[in-house]
Structure 1
């Protein structure tokens, strides 16, 4: 499991579990998205199932099947984006786990995005966790632990994952993006994704970076006339608003750092010569951080249940600091 980067506490705990043979029935991997929870779950199972030394596990045929999600004794529940996990999926999981493993000594079930369990599917899973089939390991993966049933949480051993140090995230982005990424861009992405290399690679493959100029241009158009801060925001979809707010938060942090005279710590140094910087230069450091706090709160609200169109009306006013 030495390939697990930037998650020393989680890696050491899992390694010790394998070395001592004290494997629990149920684990809950928690933490931000894109920081290695799924990667670590695979490595954990490789270390359990592989006949090679734990430090070199990952190269044999068994490990290859685990990596590709085609091992016959590992069952995967992977919901589509924003789709709930239905009770029928949990019932099918229970039926399969009642059978003996095909080629291993254990069966394993990996439930990705476990926070997408509906109430009835959560209750069905809880019954299985209360009386797990012999020789079965469950790994639930989530970045929203607070939405899970407390009774499910209490049945699992929690393994906490955290944002990676920027240098670790940067190196993973460079080596795992699948395309050439310059060191400066990798560092920018590591900061922008807040230490989540998985999220950074998603951003790299999306249109977020190409939208930066458009987004900043929209704000710069507001600068000459503050009445535009009371107009609605152009983007109204949930994902777009979240990404726009993330861009604003990062640039406002850069502006605050630049105003403090610490230019070398600014992630995107081009911001210093932009109209965007001049627009907020008149604000105090305290006011900039107040705007950042309000944007963070708005992002959390959009990730929750707030109507994205309402958020689009609020966003320009939050940027104004009024």
Structure 2
């Protein structure tokens, strides 16, 4: 994997590649950002560029060092994943032991901690000592969705590399070029932070089912269909019941589409296969009316997060919007 293969995050790429070219690298980095924004992929690209024997600022993919990385057997890279719910002190001790050996190329070793915010207190304190007094030349990459959860002393000793959600337009172009369903691509690109996360959503059965159920619920609300029956049959008794958070996210996009239609921005519609229906019903309320529906959606989402009864939250939301 190289930098060119990663969509978005141009500022982070630039900072890392400038450091590689000028040989001014930090001894520790914190890759912080939302799930699916490309943090792990960027870590792999950075490690590849660092070890590559041909290029200064990106992996060539062909030299011996790049081939070792591709096969997952580079002796100077140590990758740590949580053991169960957390990264434990024994894992950090094992890391320190591995780094007591000399580098195979007489260069720098690299260790990556994925989900670094899940370190136990003991593990974090042990890592802090290792950051301050490395046994051999080393670069640390701490990957996290919540960098603020790391010890302040660890935060202060590492260079922050912020990751942001990839723009939906950019994701759509790539995913559509891969031949994925346009109807699902448009929704996934707005709900996911990056390509991998969007691609994963599209390939899961419940995602398409939840989209279909959401559309039917919205149409039932606009007509005379008893939506309570739909809730029972299509939500409560289906896999959708386990993904009500995503259902409400999709509903939010639906109401945004209504506003896009009101203001003549049809090219911005997410539910492209429902464009004709949206065009007929968008003017049944004014912009304030649809914004009110969005506010109810946000409130229902908050109640879900506070562990309120999910079926009751959904039914009360639908009654309120009706």
- 1:291 paired to 2:296: yes
Between the two proteins, the alignment pairs up a number of residues equal to 311
Question: What's the offset of the Cα at 1:183?
Answer: 5.5
Q: Secondary structure at the match of 2:141?
A: strand
| Change in 2 beyond 3 A, CA 1:274/1:148 | farther
> Quick check: 2:186–2:271 contact (8 Å CA) kept in 1?
no
In the TM superposition, what whole-angstrom CA distance separates every residue of 1:181-234 from its partner, at most 9, and x where no partner exists?
Answer: 2566544432232x5211101102212123322344456567755878999x72
Q: Secondary structure at the match of 1:71?
A: coil
CA distance in 1, matches of 2:242, 2:263: 32
CA distance in 2, matches of 1:70, 1:161: 28
Q: Secondary structure at the match of 2:82?
A: coil
CA distance in 2, matches of 1:279, 1:166: 23
Q: Which residue of 1 aligns with 2:210?
A: 211
Question: What's the offset of the Cα at 1:317?
Answer: 3.1
CA distance in 1, matches of 2:69, 2:208: 33
Higher mean alpha-carbon deviation, 219-228 vs 104-113, is at 219-228
Question: What's the offset of the Cα at 1:252?
Answer: 2.6
Give the alignment of 1:233-312 within 5 angstroms: 234=236, 240-272=243-275, 281-282=284-285, 284-294=289-299, 297=302, 301=305, 306-307=306-307, 310-311=309-310
Q: Which residue of 2 aligns with 1:202?
A: 200
Q: Which residue of 2 aligns with 1:89?
A: 91
CA distance in 1, matches of 2:227, 2:209: 26
Of 77, 90, 101, the residue aligned with 1:99 is 101
> Quick check: 1:101–1:107 contact (8 Å CA) kept in 2?
yes
> Quick check: 1:33–1:198 contact (8 Å CA) kept in 2?
no
CA distance in 1, matches of 2:313, 2:201: 24
Higher mean alpha-carbon deviation, 233-242 vs 106-115, is at 233-242
Q: Which residue of 2 aligns with 1:117?
A: 119
Q: Which residue of 2 aligns with 1:165?
A: 167
Q: Secondary structure at the match of 1:2?
A: helix
CA distance in 2, matches of 1:152, 1:138: 11
- 1:314 paired to 2:313: yes
CA distance in 1, matches of 2:303, 2:127: 33
| Change in 2 beyond 3 A, CA 1:250/1:66 | farther
| Change in 2 beyond 3 A, CA 1:50/1:126 | same
CA distance in 2, matches of 1:143, 1:90: 20
What RMSD, in angstroms, separates the aligned Cα atoms of the two structures? 3.5
CA distance in 2, matches of 1:131, 1:281: 66
CA distance in 2, matches of 1:121, 1:316: 45
| Ranges in structure 2 where 5+ consecutive residues have no aligned partner | none
> Quick check: 1:259–1:285 contact (8 Å CA) kept in 2?
no
| Ranges in structure 1 where 5+ consecutive residues have no aligned partner | none
Q: Which residue of 2 aligns with 1:28?
A: 30
Higher mean alpha-carbon deviation, 147-156 vs 237-246, is at 237-246
In the TM superposition, what whole-angstrom CA distance separates every residue of 1:72-100 from its partner, at most 9, and x where no partner exists?
Answer: 111111237x8322222222212212222
Q: Which residue of 1 aligns with 2:135?
A: 133
CA distance in 1, matches of 2:189, 2:64: 33
Question: What's the offset of the Cα at 1:261?
Answer: 3.6
